[in-house]
Amino acid sequence: MEASANKFIMSTKEKVWDVVTDLEQAKDRIESIKEIEVLNKSDSGFVGTKWKETRDMFGKEAVETMWIIEAKEYEYYISEARNTGTLYHSTIRLEEESKGVRLHMSFTAKPESLFAKLLSPLMFFMKGMIRKAFIKDLEDIKKYLENSK
């Protein structure tokens, strides 16, 4: 299952990157994030950073442990999580445009266990809800960046 969304932000790629990689402050910028606990901060850049994120998801509190598996400064990062037999990848990508940045969020879920594979058809129904959550996160980031000049 895949879902994605994007939003144009009137800001520089450096400022957008600083905001989307500042995990400790994410709960102050994205309404659905309730708590962030950084478990491991990489000494050699962003790759290897690991955190536990608590957020409101579909009316319930969800907790995920995620880690950065790939990143290119000012361009993108990919985080990974595993839960209930499913491998999740989330990508944050910045695309510089005239007068700003287009911020992209994408998500893939790949069932790995038999149980997850049996439940995977249900993920199709969640695609729209995940996309809505991305749009709300993007709007929160846009609002923060465009109002904090």
> Which domains, ranges and CATH numbers included, belong to the chain?
2-147 (3.30.530.20)
Residue 136: in which H helix or E strand, if any? Answer: helix 114-147
Strand partners, 9: 101
At 124 the pLDDT is 73
Query: Which residues does 14 contact at the CB level (< 8 Å), separation at least 6?
Result: 74
- Decide: 20 and 103 in contact? Cβ < 8 Å: yes
Residue with tokens 């998500």: 107
Predicted confidence band at 37 (pLDDT cuts at 50, 70, 90)?
Answer: very high
Asked whether residue 18 carries a pLDDT value surpassing 80, the answer given is yes
- Note the pTM of the prediction, 2 decimals: 0.90
Q: How far apart are CA 106 and CA 102, in angstroms?
A: 13
